[in-house]
Amino acid sequence: MLTAVECGSLSKASRKLGLPLATVSRKVSDLESHLKADLLVRSSKGLELTAAGRSYVTAAKIILEQLNEAERAAAGEYTEPKGDLVVTAPTMFGRLHLLPVVMTFLSAFPEVSIELMLTDRITHFLDDQVDVALRIGDLPDSSLIATRLGTIRRVTCASPAYLVARTPPTAPEDLASHEVISFDSVSAQSTWRYWSEGNEVAVSFRSRLSVSTIDAAIDAGLAGAGIIRAMSYQVADFVRGGVLQLVLEPFEPAPRPVHLIYDKQNRLPLKLRAFVDFVVPRLRDRLIATAL
């Protein structure tokens, strides 16, 4: 019942649960028969809760939360850090910065196991069963707890060899006369946004080379194929090593915040508290160390 409500349809619930649609439909009907009340209104637009359904779902969620709380207490998660955690982060940031910290954490807390989901899609705490998420960018208002780790810049850069062969751009409009490598568009037509004197400047151009990952864009930039745009942490080592050079710095957009977020709970399991307390200062230090 709850899965059907969360998914918005019985067919989606059947796929998520791995059960035949007929089985899911029958179980919902059996529940309605047992309660002698209609809980769902089925239509072409999906499922809607009746007044009785809303009351039932609210009560059921409270009961499940209490059961989950009891299981955690019985498992000892409130007496010592132990159990499983699901942690998610953007792919490249997670590989470069979060993974090393996680490995150190696991050495310090042998009773905790971590599933690290590295993905560039936005994960959902309920649907993906996530305990902790690292997010880059502004956060929407929510009931989640967010701990700020620092900021990162969106930078524009190219190899010194490319900039010697071509006049370096001094304003965003100059990109129109340069070889620009795009990775954030499914087509070769791209738009990059900058700031000048408090106003946004949108520069559109057609890339002769458009790639599907930032790693490929960086490789092409290192090879001297043109100008690339990346987050500062993605190219920090290359810039420090002198194999990439920043351009258009005065026109960069405002730095983007980096947060560690987790769901608010009545009692925070010690495994989650230990993880947050352990990784926050270390990730802050890594962001400071890799800042450009």
Question: 83-151+256-289 belongs to which homologous superfamily?
Answer: Periplasmic binding protein-like II (3.40.190.10)
Residue 39, pLDDT > 60, answer: yes
For 211-229, what is the HEC assignment?
Answer: CCCHHHHHHHHHCCCCEEE
Question: What is the per-residue pLDDT across 77-117, written as a single tens digit (0 to 9) for each?
Answer: 555 899 999 999 999 999 999 999 999 999 999 999 999 99
Residue 272 tokens, joined: 């989650």
Mean pLDDT of the chain: 87
Q: How far from the centroid of its chain's Cα atoms is residue 153's Cα?
A: 17
The rounded distance, in Å, linking the Cα atoms of 53 and 196 is 54
Instruction: Find out whether 109 and 67 touch, Cβ atoms under 8 Å.
Output: no
Radius of gyration of the chain, Cα coordinates, nearest whole angstrom = 25
d(CA 188, CA 109): 47
Mean pLDDT highest for which of 6-15, 43-52, 82-91, 188-197?
A: 82-91
What's the CATH fold of domain 2-74? Answer: Arc Repressor Mutant, subunit A (1.10.10)
Which of 29-43, 126-140, 194-208, 216-230: highest mean pLDDT? 216-230
- Domain 154-251 belongs to what topology? D-Maltodextrin-Binding Protein; domain 2 (3.40.190)
Q: 83-151+256-289 and 154-251 share one CATH topology?
A: yes
Where do the structural domains in the chain lie, given as residue ranges? 2-74, 83-151+256-289, 154-251
- pTM passes above 0.75: no
**Distance of alpha carbon 189 from alpha carbon 138, whole angstroms:** 26
34 has pLDDT over 90: no
pLDDT band with cut points at 50, 70 and 90 for residue 174: very high
End-to-end CA distance of the chain: 51
User: What is the reported pLDDT for 198?
Assistant: 86
Q: 6 to each of 1, 10, 58, how far by Cα in Å?
A: 9, 10, 12
